[in-house]
């Protein structure tokens, strides 16, 4: 099964994609994670993207389309994939249709995680991950059991994304509303769009996604 998760920053796409990946073996394809990996490895593409990401703006379509086209052609995507963070513009959605047709693949569903905008800023401002194992936490909603110590691996170092702050969130939300939201009618017209309440508890959101996918 090939699906897309769409939602504003902080809507829970990454969390839900990881849960679905664990449960059903589909591969999570997060373009944000791929870009952060390219920055970490000091690849030219990462350096080009970093300035835009830090400002909360979208990276050019051509760069993103090239990145995802190469990725979905890989063998590990044959069992299915969950796109998390792509497409983010109508031209990206159109390019995705063409590349799927070329590779004889199709989309089974597009799931929108709908979340209240005020909640997003609070969610994003407090999130951080363990630098050693990547376990995710939130200052208010999911703190570590022992202050400063990762519950999963005992690590003591945590990282916060450079763009997870209230100021950059304003630009990221604007990019979502202006450039990404227009892809919702695009998929609705194709009969693929399902909308899920992303404000519910994490397990309930997962159950709603599963119901939408009928898995």
**Three-state secondary structure call for residue 6:** strand
Nearest distance from C-beta of residue 32 to ligand AMP, angstroms: 2
Give the interface size with ligand AMP as a residue count (CB under 6 A): 17
31 belongs to the binding site for ligand AMP (CB under 6 A): yes
d(C-alpha 49, C-alpha 31), whole Å: 11
The answer to whether the beta carbons of residues 180 and 90 sit under 8 Å apart is no
Helices (H), the chain: 13-24, 31-40, 44-55, 61-72, 90-102, 117-125, 166-175, 183-189, 202-213
Q: Which two tokens stand for residue 69?
A: 């086209």
45 belongs to the binding site for ligand AMP (CB under 6 A): no
Nearest distance from C-beta of residue 121 to ligand AMP, angstroms: 14
Nearest distance from C-beta of residue 149 to ligand AMP, angstroms: 26
- For ligand AMP, what does the binding mask look like between residues 93 and 132, x meaning CB under 6 A? ----------------------------------------
Binding-site ranges for ligand AMP (CB under 6 A): 9, 31-32, 35, 52-53, 56-59, 64, 85-86, 88, 92, 163, 172
């Amino acid at each position: 099964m090939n699906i897309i998760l769409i939602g504003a920053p902080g809507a829970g796409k990454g969390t839900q994609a990881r849960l679905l990946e664990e449960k059903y073996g589909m591969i999570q394809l997060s373009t944000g994670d791929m870009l952060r990996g390219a920055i970490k490895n000091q690849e030219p593409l990462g350096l080009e993207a970093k300035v835009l990401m830090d400002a909360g703006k979208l990276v050019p379509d051509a760069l993103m389309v090239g990145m995802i086209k190469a990725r979905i052609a890989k063998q590990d995507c044959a069992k299915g994939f969950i796109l998390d963070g792509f497409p983010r513009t109508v031209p990206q959605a159109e390019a995705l249709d063409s590349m799927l047709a070329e590779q004889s693949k199709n989309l089974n569903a597009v799931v929108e995680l709908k979340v209240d905008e005020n909640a997003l800023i609070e969610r994003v401002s407090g999130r951080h991950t363990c630098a050693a194992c990547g376990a995710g936490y939130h200052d208010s909603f999911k703190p570590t059991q022992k202050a400063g110590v990762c519950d999963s691996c005992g690590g003591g170092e945590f990282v916060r994304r450079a763009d997870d702050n209230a100021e950059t969130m304003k630009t990221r939300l604007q990019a979502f509303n202006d450039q990404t939201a227009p892809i919702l009618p695009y998929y609705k017209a194709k009969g693929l769009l399902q909308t899920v309440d992303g404000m519910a508890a994490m397990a309930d959101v997962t159950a709603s996604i599963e119901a939408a996918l009928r898995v």
